[in-house]
Structure 1
Amino acid sequence: MKKVVLFKSVSEDYEKVFSDQKYEVIFVEPLQFEFINLQELGEKLQRDDYEGLILTSPRAIEAVAKCWSPSKFVIWNTKRIYTVGEASSHKTKLLLGLEALGATTGNAANLATLIAKENVDTSKFLFPCGNLRSETLPDMLSDKGMTIDAITVYETKENENLRKNLMELNDLMNPCCMVFFSPSGCEYIYRQLQTFNNKLSTLPHFAIGNSTAHKIENLGVEIAGIATKPKAENMLESVEQYFRTLKPCS
């Protein structure tokens, strides 16, 4: 059975989609997170001068959820909530009870375009984010005249077990490819791969989106494929398309 490494936290969706096609899935989480500024976030969530809320990562949604009180924050029921991807949209509904827009946009640039199209230029949005956020979305909306109130609500750090996990992958697992899910994850992984002789760097590398793909390329590694959408099915299709043209890995 082919083994594929997914550099992300365990996901039932990815497990099922890849397992149904006879892949053994190995999850390796390269990141760990620390939530910060939650009191300030809670105070901002009580204000009524925002047109909406922008949530571009699962961790940002979790940060809001840690402050969330449906009775206290009832004002958000009438405001626009934007997310990137269907998974984040589902998480927003599950944790916050709010319907989100933008689930099919797929990336920050497309989401920014949608927000600019649906809102007036003087709109103000609350943007909880991480310390390694991309400036694509706030820059695009600021250029339109919108006010983006960004607050850092979590810090991204390297998983303390990453090197050990990578060495186990290299010595014991014999995977046929690796899938990357964030630019910061790529950076931490390659920082550790440079500390020991490994076979992993030569494996086909796949990315969930363009920003992650660009990061991998900037590290001097060729990309084998990019998912057309940030979904398990599309990631699988990218992997399958690559191997259809090659001798199948064992």
Structure 2
Amino acid sequence: MKKVVLFKSVSEDYEKAFLDVNYQALFVEPLQFEFINKEDLSQKLLQSDYTGLILTSPRAIEAVSKCWDPARFVLWNTKRIYTVGEVSSHKIKLLLGLEALGATSGNGENLANIITKENPSNSKFLFPCGNLRTETLPNIVKTSGMTVDALTVYETKENENLRTDLMELNDSATPCCMVFFSPSGCEYIHRQLQTFSNNLKELPHFAIGNSTAYKIENLGVEVAGIAARPKADSVVESVQNYFTCTQAS
């Protein structure tokens, strides 16, 4: 059975999706997170002048959930909540009890275009985000005259065990490829792989989306495939297509 390295937290969905096509998924978490500005976030969630809330990452949803009180924040029941991806949409429902829009958008740029089409130009959105966020979404929304109030609610850092995990992976497993799930993860992993002799950096690199793919390319590595959607079945399809074409040639 071929082994695939997934640089993310353990996921039953991904484990099952790869197992269904006779691949074993190996999980390595390259990141760790620190939640900040909880009091500022709580105060902003009490403001009534927001049109809606933009949550583009699972960590942003978790940050909101840490100060969430349905009784205090009942005003959000009638406002628009936007997100990227069905997993995040489900997380918003589970942790906040709110219904999210934009789950099928696929990426921040598409979500921004949806927001600008569905809301008047005087709209104002609260955007809890991480310290490594890109400006693509807020810039697109702002060009339509809308206001995006960005608040950094978590910081992304390199997992302190990353180098050890990579060394163990290199010594104990023989994976056929690696899948990357964030630009920051790519950078931390690439940097650590330069610090010891390994076979991992020669493996095919796959990306969950375009932003991650661009980061891989910027690091001087060729991208073997990009998932059409940020979902397990799309990642599996990307990997399978690559090896099918490789074998055929």
Please indicate, yes or no, whether the TM-score normalized by the shorter chain is above 0.5: yes
- What corresponds to 1:242 in structure 2? 242
* 2-structure distance, mates of 1:155, 1:208: 21
Aligned-residue CA RMSD in angstroms? 0.8
Aligned to 1:224, the other structure's residue is in SS state: strand
Q: Which amino acid aligns with 1:78?
A: T
Partner of 2:187: 187
Say which SS state the counterpart of residue 245 (structure 1) adopts.
helix
Aligned-partner Cα distance in 2 for 1:10–1:171: 20
Alignment-mate amino acid for residue 207 of structure 2:
A
TM-score, structure 1 as length reference:
0.98
Q: Which residue of 1 aligns with 2:68?
A: 68
Query: Residues of 2 paired with 1:230 and 1:53: CA distance?
Result: 21
Q: Displacement, 1:169? A: 1.3
Q: Which residue of 2 is the match for residue 37 of structure 1?
A: 37
Deviation beyond 2 Å, 4+ runs, structure 1: none
Alignment of 1:169-208 (within 5 A): 169-208=169-208
Say which SS state the counterpart of residue 26 (structure 2) adopts.
strand
- Corresponding residue for residue 27 of structure 2: 27
Q: Once the 2 structures are TM-superposed, how far is the Cα of residue 247 of structure 1 from its aligned partner? A: 3.4
How far apart are residue 144 of structure 1 and its match?
1.1
Runs of 5+ unmatched residues, structure 1: none
Segments of structure 2 that go 5 or more residues without pairing to the other structure are none
- Residue 108 of structure 1 and its aligned partner are, at CA, apart by 0.5
Structure 2 CA distance for aligned equivalents of residues 75 and 63 of structure 1: 18
**Structure 2 residue identity aligned to 1:176:** C
Name whichever of 10-19 and 110-119 sits farther off: 10-19
1:5-43: per-residue Cα shift (whole Å, max 9, x none)? 000001111111111111111000000000000011011
- Look up the SS of the partner of 1:152 in the other structure: strand
Per-residue CA distance 1:187-229 (angstroms, 9 max, x = gap): 0001101111111111010000000000000000000000000
Report the 3-state secondary structure (helix = DSSP H, G, I; strand = E; otherwise coil) of the residue aligned with 1:67: coil
Distance in 1 (CA, whole Å) between partners of 2:135 and 2:7 is 23
3-state DSSP of counterpart to 2:66: helix
Deviation at 1:243, TM superposition (A): 0.6
1:54-203 equivalences in 2 (<5 Å) = 54-203=54-203
SS in 2 for 1:247: helix
